[in-house]
Structure 1
Amino acid sequence: MKITVVGASGLIGTRLSERLRRSGHEVTDASLSFGVDTVTGKGLDAAIAGTDAVVDVTNAASFGDSAALDFFRASTKNLLAAASEAGVGHYLALSVVGTPRLVESDYFRAKMVQENLIRASNRPYTILRSTQFYEFINGLIDIGAQGDVFRLPPALMRPVAAAEVAAFLAELTLATPLGGIVEIGGPEQFGIDDVARVYLAANEDERPVITDPSTSYFGVELTDDALLPGAGARAAAQTLPDWLYQSMAD
């Protein structure tokens, strides 16, 4: 099977491309570093020509103001047009659990636009929504950094290892298009404040975490379940303590 991974230089893209190649598939890596610009369209037609499936794991460089919206709108329109021209049989995209509940945020509103464009395209598609990656916990808890303390909400989440998201995405890529949305989350449920405490303790960081429900999450005040996947979500296997141990051993 010939597959184009768009955003192949990123956290998920590198893992996805490697996994697909190990399974014997022909993979084209597409990203800025490979000479493909999805916003301008540069190199896009050549990267997608003759491919059976396109997997979009791109992300915006900025989470604020209109930058994310501009990126996802332009990038997704160009990708869908190129996929249509090439007769691609399966279009997949990686999104975020909770997106419809978080559209007050510039970033999640942009992700909602991306999802809507895909659904309206008449292309065979699958959208995978994932919870936050363990690899991004450091950036996540930084939203509450105030001097020598962290003020973070107790809203619940189920963080997940990027490798398991890439593995599920590879599985979906090789399957029949769902024409809908599927979700994945980690095996454990924590409050964001408790995730921070576990992460900081593992890194021997003694700064305290103060539970503060008013702390916004990328511009949104969270309800308790805003970041949780639905009942039918794929449950990943690797726990946060196991991932922390492995990441420190590497």
Structure 2
Amino acid sequence: MKTLVIGGTGLVGKGVCEKLKNTGNEVIVGTPSNGVNILTGEGLANALEGTDIVIDLSNSPSPEAQIALNFFKTAANNLVKAVKIAGIRHHLVLSIVGTDRAQHIGYLRAKKHQEDAVVESGIPYTIIRSTQFHEHVGTIIDVQADGKNVHVSTVDYQPIALEDVVDYVVRFSLEEPKNKIVEIAGPDRGLMTDFVEGYLREKGADIIVIANDNDKYMFEDIPRSLLVPSGEFFPGKIRFSDWVKIQ
């Protein structure tokens, strides 16, 4: 099986490429440095020749609304066009839980355009919407800390380990296209404050969590349950409390 992994050098992409290679699949890493540019279309036709599966793990260089929209609109349109011509068996996209529920956030509007371009294309596809990663808790602390305090909203939170995300991307890509959106999330659900406090406690960090009911994430106003699945989902195996012990 030959697979083109767009964004194969990124956080998720490295693990996906390694796992696919370890299971005997031929992998093409789709990055500009490897001659595959989804913004210009350069190298796409050659990379897709004889390819069975395309995994799109691409990301905008900035979360700023217009930059993200320009990136995902151009990239998705180029990819969909090339995939249709090549007759790819399965096109998989990694997206974000809550994308359709917070369209006031520019980055999520851009991701929704990426999703819609695939859904409306007629190509065989699977879209995986993932919750935030365990690994993002450290970013919450870095971004929202104010001296010895970190201000965190008591919104619902259900992070998933990066390793579980990689496993699901590989698993679903090798299965038959689902031609729908599926969601993945970690096995533990609680308040965002619970996860941040657990992380800091395990690390012995001298930082105090100041809880609030502002319903914000990275300073964005969000619905209280935006960051958790809206219905049925595929659960990860790695519990947050186990993950944080080995970080």
TM-score in same-fold range (> 0.5): yes
Give CA-to-partner distance per residue, 1:13-39, whole Å, 9 cap, x none: 111111111111111111234232211
Q: Structure 1: which 5+ residue stretches go unaligned?
A: none
Task: Tell me the secondary structure at the aligned position of residue 205 of structure 2.
Answer: coil
Does 1:64 pair with 2:59? Answer: no
Q: Which residue of 2 aligns with 1:170?
A: 170
Which runs of structure 2 are paired with 1:38-187 in the superposition (5 Å)?
Answer: 38-187=38-187
Query: Which one-letter code corresponds to 2:224 in the other structure?
Result: D
Identity %: 35
Task: Tell me the secondary structure at the aligned position of residue 177 of structure 2.
Answer: coil
Does 1:234 pair with 2:234? Answer: yes
TM-score by length of 2: 0.94
Mapped partners of 1:167, 1:21: distance in 2: 13
1:67/1:219 CA distance change after superposition, 3 Å: farther
Mapped partners of 1:2, 1:224: distance in 2: 41
Q: Which residue of 1 aligns with 2:21?
A: 21
Does 1:192 pair with 2:198? Answer: no
Task: Tell me the secondary structure at the aligned position of residue 246 of structure 2.
Answer: helix
Give aligned pairs, total: 247
Mapped partners of 1:70, 1:133: distance in 2: 25
Q: Which residue of 1 aligns with 2:206?
A: 206
Give CA-to-partner distance per residue, 1:110-141, whole Å, 9 cap, x none: 11111111111111110000011112222233
Mapped partners of 1:147, 1:107: distance in 2: 28
Q: Which 10-residue stretch deviates more, 16-25 or 38-47? A: 38-47
Mapped partners of 1:193, 1:171: distance in 2: 32
Contact 1:151 1:215 in 2 (8 A): no
Query: Which one-letter code corresponds to 1:175 in the other structure?
Result: E
Contact 1:99 1:111 in 2 (8 A): yes
Mapped partners of 2:155, 2:216: distance in 1: 10
Mapped partners of 2:143, 2:134: distance in 1: 15
Q: Structure 2: which 5+ residue stretches go unaligned?
A: none
Q: Which 10-residue stretch deviates more, 221-230 or 101-110? A: 221-230
1:176/1:105 CA distance change after superposition, 3 Å: same
Contact 1:143 1:217 in 2 (8 A): no
Query: Which one-letter code corresponds to 1:44 in the other structure?
Result: L
Query: Which one-letter code corresponds to 1:180 in the other structure?
Result: K
Mapped partners of 2:120, 2:232: distance in 1: 24
Give CA-to-partner distance per residue, 1:40-73, whole Å, 9 cap, x none: 2222222222101100011112112311111111
1:147/1:246 CA distance change after superposition, 3 Å: closer
Task: Tell me the secondary structure at the aligned position of residue 66 of structure 1.
Answer: helix
1:218/1:118 CA distance change after superposition, 3 Å: farther
TM-score by length of 1: 0.93
